[in-house]
Structure 1
Amino acid sequence: MEPNELEDRDRTRRYVLAGIVVALGVLTAGILLEVLGTILFALTAAYVLIPVQKWLVRRGFTEWTGAVGATVVGFVVVVAVFSPIAATLYFRLDEIIGFLEAIPPEVPITAFDVTYTVDVAEVQGLAIDFLTTSAIALASSLPVLAIKFALFVILLFALVLKGEAAARAAVAPVPHEYRDVVYALAKRARETLYAIYVLQLATSVVTLIIAYPLFWALGYDIPFTLALLAAILQFVPIIGPSLLIVPIAIYHVVAGELVAAVLVAVLGIALVAWFPDVGVRPRLARRSAGLPGSLYFVGFTGGLFTLGAIGIVVGPLIVAVFVEAVDLLADEVNDDTDVSDLLEPDLEHGDRGDELVTDTEASYEESPSRAADD
């Protein structure tokens, strides 16, 4: 058999196997639909923790113990992030509801000597119902959440341990001339996940550390709960903790406490909403994808509304990979062509049009009828 025929047969075999893997993957995803969010969370977390495992291996750990160490790091981080949220809903629910109930049902707003009354009772009721329903749902789903968390830890360990082999298997069917595209997309995905997990998490931790003493010093009854909400809102791009600070300031204005409103607005925006982005983010952003805030916001909101909580990660990730694919296509089509070079044909066409107009005017001026009219 000719070498070319053997090569074509091997390539066809790889494509067939890749098609089988994709088909089985789709079938598996349909069967595991209820835990698909957990699987995606484990996949993205493992992608970030694989460098931790490699760092441990370089320090003398084996592949297996390094994977255990990286999994422990992921386990501790997840527990540290989600346990305060669950504890707040369980132990501080009455205080949060009491704070919401203390808001006046009607808010008078005066503008141009005209007073308008805003009815906030309906929004107040919706917020209280949402918190109550969320707490009940959390309590009733604790056994399922425990099983999903155990699945997450097991998957995380397996993916960290065998991540390199899985990556090689995924890239193997791709022709060599297209592997640079795969590597570019993988690099953008890694940078985006670093920005979401490491950079956003560090910014949220700093927000919590700053917000708690601030709210305590300002005399709030639930300073830790408010600080935790500010830290969670740090994951919301662009607006972030301002979603918490602004309503609190408005509440003080409505209650006639102008000094408290100014203090919480100025100090909250400057220290809680602004300083973590300025003080922490630039120091950690060198390995991030540099995705514009507007696109990050689109991915965040779209993923959240479409996929739920896991969409907070998957949405920006998909947008970032899409942007990278567009950049690759633009580089492939335009190469090193400048914008002026792309517009040059239009400019030449415009020059020819001007020349045509000039020639027409000259011919008109030189025509016998034009001379007779003059």
Structure 2
Amino acid sequence: MSSLRRRRYVLAGLLAAIGLIAVGILWAVVETVFFTVTVAYVLYPLRQRLVGRGVPRRIASGLVTTFAFLVVVILISPLVWTLFRRRDAIIELLGNLPDELPIEAFGVTYNVDVGGLVTSTSNALRDLAFSVAADSVFILLQLTLFTILLYGLLLRPSAVGRAVFEITPPSYHDVIRALHRRIGGTLYALYVIQAATAVLTFPVAFLVFFALGYEDVFVLSVLSGILQFFPIVGPGMLAVGIAGHDFLLGQTDRALAILILGPTIIGVVPDVLIRPKLATRQAHLPASLYFVGFVGGVLTVGVIGIIAGPLIVALLAEMVDLLSDGKMPEEG
């Protein structure tokens, strides 16, 4: 074995060992670091466009980082603020449900205990609101870490790439490029397309909920937008829950209306208007595999699995494609 190859393997081993140690020590912020890296992956083309138009790379990195910071704040603030301020109204809404729900089937009446479920849900909402308030300092620190790390990654985007190519034998560089393209396409689909769909979902949901006479129109519209990030179920899951609530209160007509309009109008219309226009750089990952990655990722590693699950499934699909082709992809 040549000294150059031995040096490459030693450096690769040290990188892996130090990486594992870093993950163990920095586990409390590993989710923030992971999300920041994936966001930098998506925003890198925007940074390159600014640099290509003559903007200095430091200023371009700063502008893109500021844009990402504002987007995160705009997305998080309404949900957190609404849940904290409207928790009493939500709990009161749950309190209007009957203690027992009689269900008749085959001539036998069953009484379902709704009161216990309402109590546990109300306690969970209170705990969530106070937890958000108590952890506000930690949230601010995470947001600060996100901003600083994102700026650093955008300022020197090629540093990691050079390290990976340095420790990887030249005959495998085309594989690295193929995985890089798959990562870029997957993250574009997960962030850009989903985010654009969620943004359009808000006004569509607002009109539907307002027309049907719901009181918490803003909260329901925000939740509908967020649920666009959930594959397959989406806002339809919220519509089913609202329809069940209306049914328990005796508002059968509105329950049927939201059960029909929720999945069709709120769930489908934004997809039809947004996805075809942004589909040119999708991950080319079937919905079934996306769902498996999403659910498996969330159940295994928590919130980070929303991105990590589909991403690892996409990389697995790419490796299967490379093996099934019987040849390595061409450079491009």
Q: TM (normalized to structure 1)?
A: 0.84
Q: How does 1:94-243 map to 2 (within 5 A)?
A: 94-243=88-237
Which residue number corresponds to residue 16 of structure 2?
A: 22
- For the pair shown, the structure with the greater C-alpha radius of gyration is 1
Displacement of 1:245 in angstroms is 0.2
Which residue number corresponds to residue 310 of structure 2?
A: 316
SS of alignment partner, residue 210 of structure 1: helix
Of residues 58, 62, 68 in structure 1, which corresponds to 2:52?
58
Of residues 39, 42, 48 in structure 1, which corresponds to 2:36?
42
Task: Describe the superposition over 1:314-360 as per-residue Cα deviations: whole angstroms up to 9, x where unpaired.
Answer: 1111111111112212222899xxxxxxxxxxxxxxxxxxxxxxxxx
Aligned length: 329
Of residues 70, 73, 79 in structure 1, which corresponds to 2:67?
73
- 8 Å CA contact retained: 1:108, 1:254: no
CA distance in 2, matches of 1:334, 1:57: 32
Of residues 242, 245, 253 in structure 2, which corresponds to 1:248?
242
Displacement of 1:32 in angstroms is 0.9
Indicate the RMSD between aligned Cα atoms, in angstroms: 1.9
Relative to structure 1, the CA distance from residue 132 to residue 181 in structure 2 (aligned partners, 3 Å threshold; closer, same or farther) is same
Unpaired runs of at least 5, structure 2: none
CA distance in 2, matches of 1:111, 1:210: 38
SS of alignment partner, residue 157 of structure 2: helix
CA distance in 2, matches of 1:13, 1:268: 59
Displacement of 1:266 in angstroms is 2.0
| 240-249 vs 260-269, greater mean Cα deviation | 260-269
The letter of the residue matching 2:73 is V
The higher-RCO structure (CA 8 Å, 6+ apart) is 2
Which residue number corresponds to residue 276 of structure 1?
A: 270
Unpaired runs of at least 5, structure 1: 336-374
SS of alignment partner, residue 276 of structure 2: helix
Displacement of 1:244 in angstroms is 0.7
- 8 Å CA contact retained: 2:322, 2:328: no
- 8 Å CA contact retained: 2:174, 2:328: no
Displacement of 1:83 in angstroms is 0.9
1:13 aligns with 2:10: no
| 104-113 vs 41-50, greater mean Cα deviation | 104-113
Displacement of 1:114 in angstroms is 4.4
CA distance in 2, matches of 1:255, 1:128: 18
Relative to structure 1, the CA distance from residue 146 to residue 60 in structure 2 (aligned partners, 3 Å threshold; closer, same or farther) is same
Q: How does 1:259-338 map to 2 (within 5 A)?
A: 259-332=253-326
